[in-house]
Amino acid sequence: MTREELYMLRAIELAENARGSVNPNPMVGCVIVHDNKIIGEGWHQEYGKAHAEVNAILSVKDKTLLANSEVFVSLEPCVHHGKTPPCTDLLIKEKVKKVYIANIDPNPKVQGKGIQKLRDHRVEVVTGVLHDEGRQLNRRFFTFWEKQKPYIILKWAETQDGFIARSNYDSKWISSVPSRKLVHKWRAEEDAILVGTNTAQHDDPKLNVRDWQGKDPIRIVIDKSLRLKQSLNLFDQNQKTICYNLLKEEEKNNLVYVKLNEADFLESMIQDLYQRKVMSVIVEGGASLISAFIKLNFWDEARVFISKKTFGEGIAAPVLNGEISGEEKIEDDLLRLYVKTS
């Protein structure tokens, strides 16, 4: 690994600290190097607050060193006025000599303009350092802007003999306690979490973050004919909830009803979520809903817990056509990770 890659790897590590805290912004880390020594580090910590470059520059004790320093940033510095001023202007003002960038920002407001402005002010720019690692870090952000849809994560637990629930829809508890705790961590990292009508009715889930520290995701439920009872946890209005259906449009407090057409229901729902700037969704069930996403190829990755328990009979787990990208043992469970191959 080259010195440039090592410094960029550190910038990516710093960016990871912001997972779940900066959406719909990307996670960005920044490292400032002078004479082969790191003199400043920072990352974008919270949506609407200072960006990585600002925090890194603020951490530099001797600001006179900036004029002869290299900056390593995991994503192209912004060039537009948003919640904060453009980072390109700050880098130009501090007269940094060289900027290394992992990825060009796909947001049309940036998309190469930050790089061009730096070069116009005689700042040397090198792009593509740890390009693939940078895209993996911000895969939700890139999917959102390039494919104009949320990043879709399928998640379920299945028994060793391949069932996702018993015949009466009971699925508690297939996975282990540590696995369920990990799921709460995932919830805190994503924008939204989706369940179908049967899961909402039979499990009465809260879909909040309890066994981890972090923000609650937006809850999404499909209830086409509006047959779910209002007494369910999903409708307690404790966190924002969107109910996609065929019958009504309505918004009250934290509860939003969105009417869609039957013919292209899932496609329209995904497009509506994109318009609402929802960057990522965990689909938690049930089997028929997850299978519908798989059939339409509306998914990006899947996380499947395989338990040692057996049911003998019940509702069969979905079947994926993706590639196994990793496996991990969590107590008695096997966590199998998939990525979509096409």
- Condensed to tens digits (0 to 9), the pLDDT of residues 84-119 reads 678 888 899 889 999 999 999 999 989 999 999 999
Nearest to 27 by CA among 9, 45, 41, 40: 45
Distances (CA, A) of 67 to 95, 191, 222: 5, 39, 55
Residues 6+ positions from 285 with CB-CB distance below 8 Å: 156, 164, 171, 195, 196, 199, 203
* Tokens, residue 222: 């499909």
Only one residue has tokens 């960016």, namely 15
- Catalytic residue (choose from 41, 53, 76, 94): 53
Q: What is the structure's pLDDT at 46?
A: 84
Query: From CA 22, how far away is CA 20, in angstroms rounded?
Result: 6
pLDDT band at 55, cuts 50/70/90? very high
Maximal CA-CA distance, the chain = 70
pLDDT band at 171, cuts 50/70/90? low
Q: What is the structure's pLDDT at 85?
A: 74
- 53 labelled catalytic: yes
Domains present along the chain, CATH in parentheses: 3-143 (3.40.140.10), 148-339 (3.40.430.10)
198 contacts 171 by C-beta, under 8 angstroms: no
Percent of the chain whose pLDDT exceeds 90: 78
**If you write DSSP's letter for every residue of 108-119 in order, what string do you get?**
TTTTTHHHHHHH
Query: From CA 197, how far away is CA 311, in angstroms rounded?
Result: 23
The mean pLDDT value for 239-248 works out to: 97
* Tokens, residue 18: 């912001």
